[in-house]
Structure 1
Amino acid sequence: MIEAFFAQMPALVIVLPLLAAPLCVLLHRGGPSWFVYLLTTWACFGLAFLLFVQVKIGGPISYAMGGWSPPFGIELRLDALNTVVLLLVTGIAAISSVYAKASVAAEIASERAYLFYAALLLCFCGLAGITVTGDAFNLFVFLEISSLSSYALIAMGSKRRALLSAFQYLIMGTIGGTFLLIGIGFLYMMTGSLNMADIASRLPAVADTRTVEAGLAFIVVGTSLKFALFPVHVWLPNAYTYAPSSVSAFIAATATKVAVYALMRFLFTVFGAAYAFDRLPLGEVLLVLSVAAMLSGSMAAIFQTDVKRLLAWSSIAQIGYIVMGFALASSAGVSASVVHMVNHGLIKGALFMAVGAMFWRLRTISLNDIAGLGRQMPITSAAFVVAGLSLIGVPATGGFISKWVLLEAVIAPGHYWLAAAILVSSLMALIYIGRVVEVLYFRERPEGRPDVGEAPVLMLVATWTLVLANIAVGLYATPLIAAAQRAASAVLGDGS
């Protein structure tokens, strides 16, 4: 019985949220719907942890859906890379479910709460599916499931601008999905297969064709639109700013990381590093774009007056760090990307949760409105400060570990200009995080504004869980770095 359960775990990670979403609709009430969301995300987190341990001990797992063996059937495949990403997605979802109860009750009309949780479960299902699938077309399908549900979630924001933001995201996301599908179609045209491992084995025979090169270009552009790489990032600031607080925290911590993972999976597993980075100038292009993202995103964040928009522009800069790592096409670079994926998920999840807790009290989140809030919401404000210090890269935080391993990766081949860009971007982060801290602690509350108390306990528990996890990584990073190194070895073909 137990062995049968373990054998079905790869499918259960997708099936559970897929079944829970219509269950929320059938229940048609906010309370039970939240409870279904809570149980589902924590169950998937437990499954992801077991899969991570299983892959670490026994190597990659291949699961044939319906008993149809690949390449004819749909394969779910887990290795050292995607189990880390799956653990991040399910972990953030589980913690966000605790946070969501009070946040959703305050921002979403009670008669629509069940629809909100159903869409959130579909988004979670899509992100988990992208992570575990070994089929290129199903990766596109899961990407669209997560995207379509994200559009609906963002549109449920309390301000009217949320609708426009969702529409902008829909247009850009549809373009990105179309590019990705065309790229996959080109690969199918040349190989006759949709299984990623099978495509990889057949590609060398047709690698010299323009069709394969065009397929690579379409996939890179399509996924870059999905994770908002400069200069195709225009949808992200508004989407994060006007989405409900629980949605901002969840998608900021997971969605872009999963899209980056999808690109890494294509580049390293399907095309191979030698083809993508040696024969074509893709690495140089991505390095330039990553630096542009880091500097432009950080510069834009400095001038924002809305704290959620500030954090959104910061996310664009942080995506640059992740892309810079794997664009090096080295073991150290890929490891640095994986480390920063996890750490930035923890950091940005905590920051958006802290800001969401302030919004829960104030119904606004501009710098002028949160002045002096550090004395009235000390626990929430302290969480923002600690997570902000990690974003800057202060020692004893996860952000410091990320930047340290990334600096090692860029300095080893002599890319000192990249190291300089990392340092400049970090100094910019000090400025925009410092602006918020200065407003919280060194300004008086605006006249006529009533005193406020702390956020609800569940919101604080969820926020500080991510903050403490980030500190734990900063103090003892060995397990994360080891997992990232195994992931790099797996995708670069250096072992499992």
Structure 2
Amino acid sequence: MVAEHLPILPVLIPLLAAPIAILVGRSSLAWLLSTSASIAAFFVAIGLLELTLANGAIRYALGGWSPPWGIEMRIDVASAFVLLAVSGISSLVLIYARASIEKEIKEGQHTLYYTAHLLCLAGLSGILITGDAFNLFVFLEISSLATYTLVSLASDRRCLTAAFRYLVMGTIGATFILIGVGMLYMKTGTLNMLDLGDRLQAIETSRTVNTGLAFIMVGVGIKLALFPLHMWLPGAYTHAPSAVTAFLAGTATKVAVYVMIRFIYTVFGAEHVFEEMSMSIILLALAIVGIFKCSFTAAIQSNVKTLLAYSSVAQIGYIVLGISLVSITGLTASLLHIFNHALMKGALFMAVGAVLYRVGSVEIRSFNGLGRAMPWTMAAFTIAGLSIIGVPLTVGFISKWYLVTGALEQGNWIVAFLVLLASLFAVVYIGRVLEAAYFQKLPEGVDASSIKEAPILMLLPMWVLVLANIYFGLDTELTINAASSAASALTQGSALLGGGQ
């Protein structure tokens, strides 16, 4: 009976747990409930990925109404793969948050944090599994409203400005997506994404459809922080509580990239988007400029959270670059980097949050001497930082290997060279933090014995992600199999819709 309704559980579990979390009143009980709900959703995601890899896409009709008349949940390998990353990061962040939010969120707002986290998880999961374009927008708004709340919960009042800027930009993005979906509905009379794809292929070139495409791409570009639509992200990541930043960096923008991929391949068709509308050239240019501009900006920051925020925008550039290659290898690289970057950046922001917990600051000078004072935290930062750079035996190397391979398959040596060149910026900004931690002394007047290692509840999830960075850098069977299977299914589906290579 439960197996029959497995596809709806990733949304249902956190959605039902969210109101209970705020009603229980006590922070410890809310933490236990939210963590248990997230872990349960994670195990459901594992089961869904196994099922989709073995049997293909799973379709679930809500209320017994068959699509396209009824609302459909549809999970394929791509959505299950990203869902696994989202629910896994969520579970680890909630374990980490127990100690982290004690210093960064007022005690009376702890249950509000857990409730908003669960609502955000439910919204992100819904985006990944829905087969309906309008319901995708609804879930997007659920996750966004919860995210604005999460960002605003920090004790530092600058978080309110960051949350308001995020709210304004996010609302503009959501409005653009809604307008685009409305135009598609006006032209086709359906909201089911597979049905949309079928009907759009039967329509000759239409200004309404092309305008809808433009609105959706810009709206999704804002949501995923694609350069130059990224200006909400640095402030949100810098001033939000560390647990919130670690959660958002590993999930929210990655789900938005998935939305872009889903609309391109399932709804509009790759041929129309990339060849007729020349979106591949636009995405390629924005990705490359974003990688270099934001990597350079990261290298000159003094605040480590801001540094990592700009690094995230640059890494999103790598993901979009893979999409712009318009090949199975390029799309595989993008899906791999969605998963792998969640592991890297989640670990990095957790490490920075641990430093903030003990030192009270995340300026680079605050890291002086921490290699000896907080050895486990800085070792975690070091390994995750090497993964961002793309050092062999880490997941970052796997992503960049496939990205370079995708470029070389097309004879595009310039793009391959630029990908490798951009890695040098990562060496600079990660190196600045490591130089302070391992080659500088603690500030004068600071007693080394006064700075302790982070609590075990912060170290444990941090190191789970660090070890995952190494494990999936050595054993790539699961990640590459899932990413390549998802890429092949998406491109074949697009070919069936007239959007093949």
TM superposition score normalised by structure 1: 0.98
Inter-partner Cα distance in structure 2 for 1:248 and 1:207: 44
Determine the structure 1 residue equivalent to 2:481.
482
Deviation by residue 1:97-147 (Cα, 9 ceiling, x = unmatched): 111110122221221111111011111111101000000001011111111
Say whether 1:175 aligns with 2:190: no
Alpha-carbon distance change, 328 to 202 in structure 1, aligned in 2, over 3 angstroms:
same
Q: CA deviation at 1:57?
A: 1.1
Correspondence for 1:29 among 26, 31, 51: 26
Deviation by residue 1:239-258 (Cα, 9 ceiling, x = unmatched): 00000010000000110000
On the 8 A contact 2:305/2:349 being kept in 1, the answer is: yes
Determine the structure 2 residue equivalent to 1:445.
442
Inter-partner Cα distance in structure 1 for 2:15 and 2:290: 35
Correspondence for 1:415 among 402, 412, 415: 412
Inter-partner Cα distance in structure 2 for 1:421 and 1:356: 32
Determine the structure 2 residue equivalent to 1:458.
457
Say whether 1:434 aligns with 2:401: no
Inter-partner Cα distance in structure 1 for 2:294 and 2:476: 27
Inter-partner Cα distance in structure 1 for 2:266 and 2:213: 13
Determine the structure 1 residue equivalent to 2:471.
472
Determine the structure 2 residue equivalent to 1:130.
127
Correspondence for 2:382 among 359, 382, 385: 385
Correspondence for 2:150 among 148, 153, 157: 153
Determine the structure 2 residue equivalent to 1:332.
329
On the 8 A contact 1:64/1:74 being kept in 2, the answer is: yes
SS of 1:431's partner is helix
Counting only pairs closer than 5 Å after superposition, residues 212-227 of structure 1 correspond to structure 2 as 212-227=209-224
Determine the structure 2 residue equivalent to 1:80.
77
Inter-partner Cα distance in structure 1 for 2:327 and 2:424: 26
Please, which moves more after superposition, 144-153 or 474-483? 474-483
Determine the structure 2 residue equivalent to 1:7.
4
Inter-partner Cα distance in structure 1 for 2:48 and 2:296: 40
Determine the structure 1 residue equivalent to 2:370.
373
Q: CA deviation at 1:274?
A: 1.1
Inter-partner Cα distance in structure 2 for 1:11 and 1:193: 22
Q: CA deviation at 1:449?
A: 2.4
Structure 1: stretches of 5+ with no match in the other structure: none
Q: CA deviation at 1:207?
A: 4.0
Please, which moves more after superposition, 124-133 or 198-207? 198-207
On the 8 A contact 2:106/2:155 being kept in 1, the answer is: no
Inter-partner Cα distance in structure 1 for 2:141 and 2:107: 27
Structure 2: stretches of 5+ with no match in the other structure: 497-501
Inter-partner Cα distance in structure 2 for 1:112 and 1:474: 38
Q: CA deviation at 1:205?
A: 2.1
Inter-partner Cα distance in structure 1 for 2:80 and 2:366: 41
Q: CA deviation at 1:9?
A: 1.0
TM superposition score normalised by structure 2: 0.97
Correspondence for 1:291 among 282, 288, 291: 288
RMSD over aligned Cα, in angstroms? 1.1
SS of 2:445's partner is coil
SS of 2:366's partner is coil
Determine the structure 1 residue equivalent to 2:53.
56
Deviation by residue 1:294-314 (Cα, 9 ceiling, x = unmatched): 001100000000000000000
SS of 2:367's partner is coil
Q: CA deviation at 1:39?
A: 0.4
Amino acid at match of 2:33: V
Determine the structure 1 residue equivalent to 2:232.
235
On the 8 A contact 2:131/2:194 being kept in 1, the answer is: yes
Q: State the identity as a percent.
A: 51
SS of 2:74's partner is strand
Correspondence for 2:400 among 400, 403, 419: 403
Inter-partner Cα distance in structure 1 for 2:63 and 2:14: 19
On the 8 A contact 1:136/1:194 being kept in 2, the answer is: yes
SS of 2:2's partner is helix
Say whether 1:89 aligns with 2:73: no
Inter-partner Cα distance in structure 2 for 1:13 and 1:479: 21
Amino acid at match of 1:445: L
Alpha-carbon distance change, 139 to 160 in structure 1, aligned in 2, over 3 angstroms:
same
On the 8 A contact 1:80/1:483 being kept in 2, the answer is: yes
Inter-partner Cα distance in structure 2 for 1:306 and 1:339: 29
Amino acid at match of 2:203: V
Inter-partner Cα distance in structure 2 for 1:165 and 1:418: 34
On the 8 A contact 2:100/2:243 being kept in 1, the answer is: yes
Inter-partner Cα distance in structure 1 for 2:107 and 2:32: 15
SS of 2:364's partner is coil
| Greater than 3 Å deviation, 4+ residue runs | none
Inter-partner Cα distance in structure 1 for 2:316 and 2:297: 14
Inter-partner Cα distance in structure 1 for 2:331 and 2:193: 20
Determine the structure 2 residue equivalent to 1:273.
270
Determine the structure 1 residue equivalent to 2:499.
none
Deviation by residue 1:322-355 (Cα, 9 ceiling, x = unmatched): 0000111210110000111111000000000000
SS of 1:86's partner is helix
On the 8 A contact 1:158/1:242 being kept in 2, the answer is: no
Determine the structure 2 residue equivalent to 1:316.
313
Inter-partner Cα distance in structure 2 for 1:156 and 1:449: 30
On the 8 A contact 2:21/2:30 being kept in 1, the answer is: yes
Inter-partner Cα distance in structure 1 for 2:181 and 2:409: 35
Inter-partner Cα distance in structure 2 for 1:292 and 1:26: 47
Amino acid at match of 2:455: P
Inter-partner Cα distance in structure 2 for 1:432 and 1:82: 32
Determine the structure 2 residue equivalent to 1:491.
490
Amino acid at match of 1:260: V
On the 8 A contact 2:299/2:307 being kept in 1, the answer is: yes
Amino acid at match of 1:7: E
On the 8 A contact 1:350/1:384 being kept in 2, the answer is: yes
Say whether 1:118 aligns with 2:115: yes
Correspondence for 2:354 among 354, 357, 382: 357
Q: CA deviation at 1:158?
A: 2.0
Deviation by residue 1:406-444 (Cα, 9 ceiling, x = unmatched): 000011101222112211210000000000000001001
SS of 1:77's partner is strand
